[in-house]
Amino acid sequence: MRAPVDPVVTTTTLGNGLRVTTVALPHLHTVTVAAFVKVGSRFEVPTDSGLSHFVEHMLFRGTERYPTSLALNTAIEALGSTLHAETGRDYTLFSMGFTPEQVPAGLAVLAELLARPRFGDIELERALILEEMSEDYDEDDVEINVDDIARGLAFGDHPLGQRIIGPRANVQRFADADVRRHFARYYGAANTILCVAGPVEHGAIVDAARCLESLPPGAVAELPVAPTAPAAPRWRHVKDSGAQTSLAILFRGVPEIDPAYPAFVALLRALDDGMSTRLHYQLADQRGLAYSIGAAIEPLADTALFEITSATANAKLPTLVAEILGLVGGLREEAIGADELAKIRTRYRYETVASLDDSAAMAGWFGGTALYYPPPALADRLAAIDAVTADDLIATARQVFQPAGLALAAVGALSKARVGELREVITGWQ
């Protein structure tokens, strides 16, 4: 009989609306403290594109108690931790790791960060962000970030198609008033979840988290609904130097709240879950079309992307794309075998159980997910994967792998002839 996999997850809402969730992992020795804020590039109008990322950076510039970036980071590092932050499309994350006895002091620093930021040294931070952006452009100021280009194709003018970091002109223009406006709109307690995962006791964490009652309540941000999929394939080639072309292929996927999501996950694993699965074995190992190739799911609040990325010699790109489309198209018709489906379930179970040894992963699942919907129990996820059939995979492949939902970006030194071949591959795929 298998042991229970689900940790004890408890949530208390403070007086200002902040949800405090604990994930009890008594077998661990360290704790992840994570704050998830419902703000990101999806919530930005074009004139604010990049502002969520800009604000996240500015929060590192000190607080009332720790007035400089040095003072703030020293306070965190003196507790043994490092402040990690990232801006996404659906939420922004701030996280730190501590030994259990340091958690109350760490929460006090987090309260300083979120309730009393200084937003100083804006020109220094602007220069850093502009430097960060430079790797996404060539010497002629042409965008060459294949992932961002592909997402722009997939979502068009919708905010989900905007670059998280924003356009250079916006970053050059953002002022202190913009930072404070965006912060006041989104960084309220009602729009934030604090998740603490590790060997913790819920009541003690709630008591320690009361320092965060200094956050203003604010309001819950409204989610801009994802757009429908395009009616036809979208693709773009961007000229760049070098012997290889970077490739990103996107399909509109199944959201996590959809009953078909477990089959969608199994579909990913049929294509890319180790060196024996289709993408690596057939296209890299056996055909030599790419040294590295992989697939992933980017789950979003109400949609998802199925992404295949690779880099290959310029001359091989049309053949590689044709083979990829052939593989995904084949999954619409050919049932996978019982042994392969069993392997998918076994590997999924291992990774799910292994996530119980990763407090950051548990905080992400039970904290970040809860910004939009109650996260399913781990046991329910395992049961859902076990229930997926070969016919479910075919049905999901037919839903996802369609020409109308295809977005493809290629960045590299392709000749006109190779671009023509690529066009024929894309437009001829059914």
**Three-class secondary structure of residue 65 per DSSP:** coil
- Helices and strands in the chain, H and E counts: 16, 11
Q: What is the pLDDT along the chain (430 residues), one digit of tens a residue?
A: 455 789 999 999 999 999 999 999 999 999 999 999 999 999 999 999 999 999 999 999 999 999 999 999 999 999 999 999 999 999 999 999 999 999 999 999 999 999 999 999 999 999 999 999 999 999 889 999 999 999 999 999 999 999 999 999 999 999 999 999 999 999 999 999 999 999 999 999 999 999 999 999 999 999 999 999 989 999 999 999 989 999 999 999 999 999 999 999 999 999 999 999 999 999 999 999 999 999 999 999 999 999 999 999 999 999 999 999 999 999 999 999 999 999 999 999 999 999 999 999 999 999 999 999 999 999 999 999 999 999 999 999 999 999 999 999 999 999 999 999 999 999 999 9
47-57: string of b/e by CB count within 10 Å (b at 16+)? ebbbbbbbbbb
Q: Enter the pTM of the model.
A: 0.95
Give dist(CA 128, CA 56) in Å, integer.
Answer: 13
pLDDT score for 412: 96
Structure tokens that stand for 239 in this block: 């000229």
Structural domains in the chain plus CATH codes: 8-214 (3.30.830.10), 234-428 (3.30.830.10)
Structure tokens that stand for 249 in this block: 């292929």
Give 159-188 as a DSSP string: GGGS-TT--HHHHHH--HHHHHHHHHHH-S
Residue 153 near residue 247, CB atoms below 8 Å: no
Nearest to 62 by CA among 18, 103, 129, 109: 109
Give 274-302 as a DSSP string: STTSHIIIIIIIIT-S-SEEEEEEEE-SS
pLDDT score for 1: 43
pLDDT score for 4: 73
Give 207-226 as a DSSP string: HHHGGGGGS----PPPPPPP
How do beta strands 19-24 and 192-198 pair?
A: parallel
Distances from the Cα of 118 to the Cαs of 62, 190, 219, in angstroms? 6, 22, 22
pLDDT score for 3: 59
Residue 332 near residue 271, CB atoms below 8 Å: no
pLDDT score for 275: 94
Distances from the Cα of 50 to the Cαs of 46, 103, 133, 247, 410, in angstroms? 9, 32, 11, 24, 24
Give 335-383 as a DSSP string: PPPHHHHHHHHHHHHHHHHHGGG-HHHHHIIIIIGGGTSPPPPHHHHHH
